[in-house]
Structure 1
Amino acid sequence: MNSDTPSLGIPALPLPTAEVTALGRLAFAVGQLFRFAWIEVQCCLFPIAIFAGLALTSVVDLPIPRYDALLIYALALTGVFYLLKLETGREVAVIGAFHLIGLALEIFKVSIGSWSYPDDGVLRVAGVPLYSGFMYAAVGSYICQAFRRFDLRVNQFPVVPTVILAIAAYLNFFTHHVIADLRWAIAAGFVVVLWRSRVSFTVGSRRYGLPLSVSFVLIGFFLWVAENAATFLGAWAYPNQAQIWEMVHAGKWGSWALLVSLSFVLVAAVKMREGKFYGEPGATPSVRTH
């Protein structure tokens, strides 16, 4: 259309400024949500690969027992992550430590009948297949990846009380069978000592933050969801799932949230050593020991 072409006589009606601003904010928020989801997927590469192995071995005939195949697969996966520099040597070491901590818990829980491993496997300790520790290692891998990909930083972190509570949470998984269950007291302790602790993270061009204790609860929830998927795939089974699969009791959400604290403390030790834990990137550390 040239300048001589007559118009239709309908003037352009621009959107009100407030409406344009609102639409822009909505578009940005949606974009940030997708960016966040994509980073989360990358942080979950190891857990996703573990679940892919669980799913595949549940439908494919294997020349060796399923749980043994999963152990070999998980070890190979760890090696690949290290060789591709997706995880550092220190991170692999701390993930391995959480693997052993989880395996010790598994041996105890299976011995008292809390859950069982129904499929075949030769590589077991006290009835627990060695691959099972990698379910805990996957949690450690996620936290390591989150520190890197979200550029996580923590402010006002009370090291000593948090370590004590994390150890107490772990020990309570053993002791609550013979003495009072202290999980709610320990959870309350975390709320108190982490009251001023916040974790900040980057999505796109923005930094966000939330209370550290809330992050434990959120991770615990998604681990509970993952546990439902894992038991459905036969990774292990609770007594009420022996005949037919049922959802895992919602109370396990709280158990996972407490166990996350121990994994976080282990990863924090590595990140403190690397100088990638406290404050904003490049900021002066803010740490409390009491």
Structure 2
Amino acid sequence: MSALKQLVRFGWEQALSCLFPVVIFTSLALTQIMPLPLLPRYDWLLIICLLMQWWMVRSGLETRDELKVITLFHLIGLALEIFKTHMGSWSYPEEGYFKIFGVPLYSGFMYASVASYLCQAWRRLNVDLVKWPPFLVVVPLTAAIYLNFFTHHYWIDVRWWLAALVIIVFWRSWVTYEVNGKCYRMPLAFSFMLIGFFIWIAENIATFFGAWEYPNQTAVWSLVHLGKVSSWVLLVIVSFLIVATLKLVKGKKEL
């Protein structure tokens, strides 16, 4: 029973950390079935995301430093969206006033919500890092993972080489977290895989509600290819390393 209570508590803390993603998914579902006045659906989603972001900072759920990281990840995600839609990887077929090169601005918030989850979970579960690799190793690896999302369209896809590097670099790294005052730990590389898998599940929900559309979903919705898990794992690593760097730098300044 004690283990079950800990698991329920852990799940509850995770659910609270997913507040921003839950709002996005709920908005996707509601705006698909409800008639919307004045503005296209994509623009209403942008307004909802902006209001949600404002409320989270206003209420203290996110700090200003965390907002900076989330905004950075919003821009990183938006740049990736613009490139990927240009290459035909997926599309946003609906109309919208607030679009850049065919990409609605709300799309960046879907990436930002991943960083928001990490920031929330970090605080709620009192996350700490054990044997974190040197900064000079982490930054080039992060940059290489992100750049590969662009370069593999013109060159070979080195994602599996990068994944192998991640395992090597973080082989001795652990993440510790607390549930009801009891400390647990998990291999860092395994946590990347878990988060990436659950984002893949979220991606299927998002595409079902028309957040975006893959070429094979144009006529009828179908399950997102399982291979996309590897992409999300690598993207999670980018967001995690950015958030972790903020936390480590912030922690050193406070010492």
Same fold (TM over 0.5): yes
Deviations along 1:189-235, one digit per CA (max 9) or x if unpaired, are 00001011100000113100011111111100000000000000000
The alignment of Structure 1 onto Structure 2 pairs a total of residues equal to: 253
Amino acid at match of 2:56: F
CA contact (8 A) 1:231 1:237 kept: yes
Q: C-alpha displacement at 1:265, in angstroms?
A: 1.7
1:50 aligns with 2:24: yes
Q: Which residue of 103, 106, 118 corresponds with 1:128?
A: 103
Q: Which residue of 55, 72, 75 corresponds with 1:97?
A: 72
Alignment of 1:69-148 (within 5 A): 69-148=44-123
1:62 aligns with 2:36: yes
Instruction: Determine which structure has the larger helix proportion and give its number.
Output: 2
Deviations along 1:130-176, one digit per CA (max 9) or x if unpaired, are 10000000000000001100000001111322221111111101000
In structure 2, distance between residues paired with 1:75 and 1:268: 24
What percent identity do the matched residue pairs reach?
53
Structure 1 match to 2:235 = 259
Q: C-alpha displacement at 1:51, in angstroms?
A: 0.8
Structure 2 match to 1:288 = none
Structure 2 match to 1:212 = 188
Structure 1 match to 2:124 = 149
**After the TM superposition, which segments of 4 or more aligned residues of structure 1 sit over 6 Å from their partners?**
none
CA contact (8 A) 1:224 1:252 kept: yes
RMSD across aligned C-alpha pairs, in angstroms? 1.5
Structure 2 match to 1:237 = 213
1:40 aligns with 2:14: yes
1:162 aligns with 2:138: yes
Which protein has the larger Cα radius of gyration, Structure 1 or Structure 2? 1
Q: C-alpha displacement at 1:39, in angstroms?
A: 0.4
CA contact (8 A) 1:119 1:234 kept: no
Instruction: Give the secondary structure class of the aligned counterpart of 1:207.
Output: strand
Amino acid at match of 1:77: M
In structure 2, distance between residues paired with 1:162 and 1:251: 25
Amino acid at match of 1:201: Y
CA contact (8 A) 1:162 1:190 kept: no
> Which runs of no fewer than 5 residues in structure 2 stay unpaired?
none
CA contact (8 A) 1:118 1:234 kept: no
Instruction: Give the secondary structure class of the aligned counterpart of 1:275.
Output: helix
- Normalised by the size of structure 1, how large is the TM-score? 0.85
Amino acid at match of 2:19: L
- Normalised by the size of structure 2, how large is the TM-score? 0.96
> Which runs of no fewer than 5 residues in structure 1 stay unpaired?
1-26, 277-283, 285-290
Amino acid at match of 1:216: F
In structure 2, distance between residues paired with 1:127 and 1:155: 42
Alignment of 1:162-241 (within 5 A): 162-241=138-217
In structure 1, distance between residues paired with 2:80 and 2:181: 41
Q: C-alpha displacement at 1:273, in angstroms?
A: 2.8
1:274 aligns with 2:250: yes
